[in-house]
A = this chain, B = another copy of it.
Amino acid sequence: MKQSKLFGQTLREAPKDAEAISHIYLARGGFIRQLSSGLFSFLPLGFRVLKNIEKVIREEFDKIGAQELVMPVIHPAEIWKKTGRYHEIGEELWRIKSQGGQELVLSMTHEEAMAEIAFRYIQKYNDLPLLLNQFQIKLRNEARPRGGLLRLREFIMQDAYSFDRSEAEFDKTYKKVFKVYQNIFKRLNLKAVPIKASSGIMGGNESHEFMMPAEIGEDKLDGKNAIELGHTFKLGLKYSKPFNIYFTAKNGKKELAIMGSYGIGLDRLMAATVEAFHDKKGIIWPEPIAPFKIHLIELSAKTDPDVKKQAENIYKKMIAEGTEVLYDDRDDKTAGEKFADADLIGIPLRVVISVKTLEKNSVEMKQRNKESAKLIKISNVGTIF
Chain A residues within CB distance 8 Å of chain B: 4-9, 30, 33, 35-37, 39-44, 46-47, 50, 65, 67-76, 78-79, 91-92, 94, 96, 98-100, 102, 104, 106, 113, 116-117, 120-121, 126, 130, 132, 137, 139, 141-143, 153-154, 332
15 A-B residue pairs with Cβ-Cβ distance under 8 Å, sorted by A, are A5-B65, A8-B121, A35-B116, A36-B75, A37-B98, A39-B74, A43-B117, A44-B67, A47-B69, A50-B70, A73-B139, A74-B139, A99-B141, A126-B332, A137-B137
Q: Tell me the smallest distance from the CB of A234 to a CB of chain B, in Å.
A: 21
**Which residue from B42, B72, B94 sits with its C-beta under 8 Å from A69?**
B42
Minimal beta-carbon separation of A310 from chain B (angstroms): 23
A124 to B132, CA, bound (A): 47
- The residues of B that contact A153 with a CB separation of less than 8 Å are 74, 98
Q: Is there contact, CB below 8 Å, between A91 and B99?
A: yes
Known: A100-B143, A141-B98. A126 touches B4 (CB 8 A): yes
13 additional A-B residue pairs with CB within 8 Å, beyond A35-B72, A41-B72, A41-B117:
A5-B65, A7-B67, A7-B69, A30-B121, A33-B120, A35-B116, A41-B71, A41-B113, A43-B121, A44-B68, A47-B69, A92-B99, A137-B137
Q: Which of B6, B30, B36, B72 contacts A39 (CB 8 A)?
A: B72
Given A9-B121, A73-B137, A126-B4: A47 and B68 interface contact (C-beta under 8 Å): yes
Complex Cα distance A91/B154, Å?
A: 23
Q: In the complex, how many angstroms separate the beta carbon of A137 from the nearest chain B beta carbon?
A: 6
Asked if B154 and A73 sit within 8 Å, CB to CB, the answer is yes
Given the interface pairs A41-B117, A117-B43, A143-B100, the reply to whether A35 lies near B69 with Cβ below 8 Å is no
A343 to chain B, nearest CB (A): 21
Contacts of A154 in B (CB 8 A): 72-74
Task: Choose among B69, B96, B106 the residue that contacts A41 (Cβ–Cβ < 8 A).
Answer: B69
Contact (Cβ within 8 A) A102 B65:
no
Instruction: Please determine whether A35 and B76 come into contact, CB atoms closer than 8 angstroms.
Output: yes
Which chain B residues lie closer than 8 Å to A130 at the CB level?
Answer: 7
Residues in B neighbouring A67, C-beta threshold 8 A: 5-7, 44
Distance in Å from the Cβ of A370 to the closest Cβ of chain B?
30
Residue of B nearest to A129 (CB): B5
The 8 Å CB contact of A113, one of B35, B70, B104, is B35
Q: Are A43 and B72 in contact (CB under 8 A)?
A: no
CB distance from A62 to the nearest CB of B (A): 11
CB within 8 A of A94: which of B9, B42, B71, B96? Answer: B96
Contact of A7 among B30, B94, B132 (CB under 8 A): B132
Please give me the residue from chain B that is nearest to A139 by CB atom: B74
Most B CB atoms within 10 A — which of A73, A74, A102, A104?
A: A74
Question: Closest residue of chain B to A94, judged by CB?
Answer: B96
When distances are taken between beta carbons in the complex, the residues of chain B under 8 Å from A35 are 71-72, 75-76, 79, 113, 116-117
Would you give the shortest CB distance from A177 to chain B, in whole angstroms?
A: 16
Known A-B contacts A126-B4, A137-B137, A143-B100; the reply to A70 vs B91 at CB < 8 A is no
Give me the 6 closest cross-chain CB pairs, A-B, nearest first.
A36-B76, A41-B71, A44-B67, A39-B72, A99-B143, A72-B154
Q: Shortest Cβ distance from A117 into chain B, in angstroms? A: 5
Which chain B residues lie closer than 8 Å to A76 at the CB level?
35-36, 39
- Please report the C-alpha to C-alpha distance between residue A143 and residue B104 in the assembled complex, in whole angstroms: 14
> Contact between A33 and B117 (Cβ–Cβ < 8 Å)?
yes
Q: Please, how many angstroms separate the alpha-carbon atoms of A8 and B39 in the complex?
A: 34
Closest chain B residue, CB of each to CB of A67: B44
